[in-house]
Amino acid sequence: MQITRRTLLAGASAGALALPMGRAFAQKAEFAYKYANNLPVMHPMNIRAKEMADAIRAETKGRVDIQIFPNNQLGSDTDMLSQVRSGGVEFFTLSGLILSTLVPSAAITGIGFAFPDYGTVWKALDGELGAHVRAQIAKSGLVAMDKIWDNGFRQITSSTRPIVTADDLKGMKIRVPPSPLWTSMFKAFDAAPTSINFSEVYSALQTKVVEGQENPLAIIATAKLYEVQKYCSLTNHMWDGFWFLANKKAWERLPEDLRTIVAKHINAAGMKERVDVAALNATVQKELSDKGLVFNLPKTDSFRERMRKAGFYAEWKAKFGDEAWALLERSTGKLG
């Protein structure tokens, strides 16, 4: 399915939000699994996941039936992480940075201004750095599929002012996802970060509990954050991706032939989702401008300088350790 910008911003399927995606009256399959996530149904993640679930059902001849629960229907990221750990849901996609509350080294891919472009991101994540993080995840009772799904390069929005230099972040009440790395980064800018799960972000912005937030354009568009924000500063301050996680026991319960089919389709859907998200992030700015969001493109030198001076890079290098940091720098070049 092709996502057009029109269908995207028209919010075509708001009515579908009330129900899990997929076949409501499916006969109980041999393996009836749940996949939960935090994104709106029109985001490429859910569009590709729907195709993926259909392909898995078809190729396993109905033995594996994955039902999708998008848009925090089953709770916040924090709730869903508990559910995938306990087996209440079998699959869940989560930012490595939020996963770091369980697997500390999973945050390494979110270091500020580490990746200059997607080429560098995928080389690292499909290579040694990704393998390193997946090996750490495997020790936690969760299994991460080979291909991480894209969230994107993150941009800062606010209802109060554009961010032109790092000084503009001083004192800003900004929402960050629940993750020590995110809080540390925005403290380095002298902002006032508050950890809030994505499920609460729209209302936190609407009621002005916070002034701003940061997310890729694909999310600012599909979650309609432009309705409650005025400015968007294209800082590209970090890249973020979603590990496609499985509950280990549920994963191992699948016979090996089914596991191979399921993994193949999940990874293939992730590769398509990467293409969709990059395309959307590259094209949706015009539509968001038309909706009233005011864009600016800041120079990033002052941000990097502020982080260096605050000791951000040194602190996180010490936390992740020399070996992991070397893996990161092998892709990104010297950081800090």
**Using the rule CB under 6 A, is 235 a contact of ligand X2X?**
no
In the bound complex, what is the minimum distance in angstroms from residue 46's beta carbon to ligand X2X? 12
Q: Which residues contact 61 (CB under 8 A, 6 or more apart)?
A: none
Residue 44 found at the interface with ligand X2X (CB under 6 A): no
Q: Which residues contact 301 (CB under 8 A, 6 or more apart)?
A: none
Q: What are phi and psi of 175, to 5 degrees?
A: -75, 135
CB of 234 to ligand X2X, least distance (A): 16
Give the shortest CB-323-to-ligand X2X separation in angstroms: 26
Number of residues this chain uses to bind ligand X2X (CB under 6 A): 9
**Binding mask 311-330 vs ligand X2X (x if CB under 6 A, - otherwise)?**
--------------------
Two tokens, residue 77: 């990221």
Contact criterion met (CB below 8 Å) for 317 and 325: yes
CB of 79 vs ligand X2X, minimal distance in Å: 13
Positions in 186-205 near ligand X2X (CB under 6 A): 198
Residues 6+ apart with CB under 8 A from 181: 97, 100, 107, 110, 111, 316
| Percent of residues in the chain assigned helix, strand, coil, to nearest 5 | 50, 15, 35
Q: How far is the CB of 293 from ligand X2X (least distance, A)?
A: 17
Nearest alpha-carbon partner for 300 in 155, 123, 95: 155
Query: 17-23 — which CB contacts under 8 Å span 24+ positions?
Result: 17/41, 17/70, 17/71, 17/73, 20/67, 20/68, 20/69, 20/70, 20/73, 21/46, 21/49, 21/50, 21/53, 21/67, 21/68, 21/69, 21/70, 22/50, 22/53, 22/65, 22/66, 22/67, 22/68, 23/65
Asked if residue 219 binds ligand X2X (CB under 6 A), the reply is: yes
The one among 8, 31, 33, 38 contacting ligand X2X by CB under 6 A: 38
For residue 31, state whether it binds ligand X2X (rule: CB under 6 A). no
Radius of gyration of the chain (CA): 19
Among 109, 151, 222, 233, the residue binding ligand X2X under the rule CB under 6 A is 151
Is 212 a binder of ligand X2X (CB under 6 A)? no
Residue 115 is given by DSSP the state -
Phi/psi for 300 (5° steps) reads -95, -5
**What's the min distance (Å) between Cβ of 177 and ligand X2X?**
4
Residue 176 pairs in a beta bridge with 195
In angstroms, what is the minimal distance from the CB of 169 to ligand X2X? Answer: 17
Binding mask 111-150 for ligand X2X (x = CB under 6 A): ----------------------------------------
Least Cβ distance, residue 27 to ligand X2X (angstroms): 33
Q: Which is nearer to ligand X2X, 173 or 259 (CB)?
A: 173
Which of 31/186 has CB closer to ligand X2X? 186
Three-class secondary structure of residue 160 per DSSP: coil
177 binds ligand X2X (CB under 6 A): yes
With contact defined as beta carbons under 8 Å apart, do 247 and 142 qualify? yes
Nearer residue to ligand X2X within complex by CB, 177 or 193: 177
Q: Does 155 bind ligand X2X (CB under 6 A)?
A: no
Residues near ligand X2X (CB under 6 A): 38, 95, 98, 151, 177, 198, 215, 219, 240
